[in-house]
Amino acid sequence: MSSVRAVVAGHGDFAAGLLSAVLQITGRDDVFVGLSNRALSAQDVDRALRAAVAAGPVQVIFTDLPAGSCTMAARRLQREDPLLVVVTGVNLATLLDFVFSEGPDAVSAAGSAVEKGRAALAIAGASPARGGETRDH
């Protein structure tokens, strides 16, 4: 059984929703801890993120937005601990890949997860003949 290796942090119920989906798909709830910035000041986000990282052998922080409050707090922590990996723009495919990467190298696991997450982005139903263009309605 794995211990918590990463934090998922973001706005509102973002983290809770992703972690619920990870649990439903994989049956695993031992890899991530979730954090919401709802009703938290920047200092509160810093404290909550610091506590989440300190609670387990957390090596990676996944966040929703590149310039959001959770990412800014994560980057401040990363300056103190350069081995901490911060991944922004996380999606479900990213987290699923990370769940199944059991290696000790957080950078490699996060890098693989980022590639899976990036590859999962697509415009559904885009026709190659139309060059992927969609209609505005």
CATH number at residue 66: 3.40.50.510
Task: Please indicate, yes or no, if residue 16 is contained in any of the structural domains.
Answer: yes
pLDDT at 129 over 70: no
Within a domain: 108: yes
- Tell whether 17 is covered by a domain: yes
Structural domain of 110: 6-121
Residue 69 lies in a domain: yes
Confidence (pTM) = 0.88
| Contact yes or no for 86/78 (Cβ under 8 A) | yes
Residue 68 has pLDDT above 90, yes or no: yes
Provide the domain count of the chain: 1
Q: Would 82 be classed as within a structural domain?
A: yes
Average pLDDT, the chain: 90
Question: Could you tell me if residue 99 is inside a domain?
Answer: yes
**C-beta neighbour count of 17 within 10 angstroms:** 14
137 belongs to a structural domain? no
CA 118 to chain centre: 13
Q: Check residue 133 and give its pLDDT.
A: 60
pLDDT at 93 over 90: yes
Q: What is the pLDDT of residues 11-31, one digit of tens each?
A: 999 999 999 999 999 999 999
pLDDT bracket for residue 104 (50, 70, 90): confident
